[in-house]
Amino acid sequence: MGSIRQHVNPLGRFFQQPLELPSLTALFPRPHQPLHLDIGCARGRFLMDMAALYPQRNHLGLEIRRLLVEQAETQRQLRQLDNLHYLFCNVTVSLASLTRQLAPEQLQWVTIQFPDPWFKRKHHKRRLLQDSVLNTLAAAMAPGSLLFLQSDVYPLMEDVTALVQAQGCFVRQPPDWWPENPLPVSTERERSVLARGLPVWRACFRRAPRDQGATMGA
């Protein structure tokens, strides 16, 4: 269920093959709407509910497990949500091909929720949020846009929030750890963790103005 992690090694040879992702024009009937990108979308149910709540945005889920993407796309079609799509890819390899086609102010929300923590230090290079991914996001995100991170693994959140702050293009929004989810929809895993009485660690960042991005630290 929501608490089960299915490991996929993003550094495996198969997942290192770059994919040219479809254009937004091919995916959405209104391709120029603001975009919400959910990275590591799993079964996609969070994003499906967000797409229904925010029809004035396009919502795109990226996931490295192809079967989950196929299942999510089937459900999307049943709900007839034309402002939503899911794509199979390894973001560390293929994200840049997607962001290059975005208009300067288009990427408004990025959510990364409960990514695989890869606990062993030697496996940290397999984690989803790496410098390359963060730099690609920073270059594409509109000033003032939201980067929302959450996990039930505190050491992971310490690491990834430090990474974001060191990158210098994002401003952490107080409080450091948000006690409540600022979004109107929870993921399956978030509900599962909270139902067991366990904590969830959340952090929100805003993209700094472009003229400050090169100099802003934490």
Q: What residues are annotated to the active site?
A: 116
What secondary structure, in 3-state letters, does 14-32 show?
Answer: HHHCCCCCCCHHHHCCCCC
Neighbour count for residue 97 (Cβ, 10 Å): 16
Neighbour count for residue 115 (Cβ, 10 Å): 19
Neighbour count for residue 8 (Cβ, 10 Å): 15
Task: Name residues whose C-beta falls within 8 Å of residue 121's C-beta, 6 or more positions apart in sequence.
Answer: none
Task: Name residues whose C-beta falls within 8 Å of residue 72's C-beta, 6 or more positions apart in sequence.
Answer: 41, 43, 44, 45, 47, 48, 61, 63, 86
Buried-state track 166-184, b at ≥16 Cβ within 10 A, e below 16: ebbbbbeeeeeebeebebe
How many alpha carbons lie under 13 Å from residue 207 in its C-beta half-sphere? 24
Contact 158, 166 (CB under 8 A): no
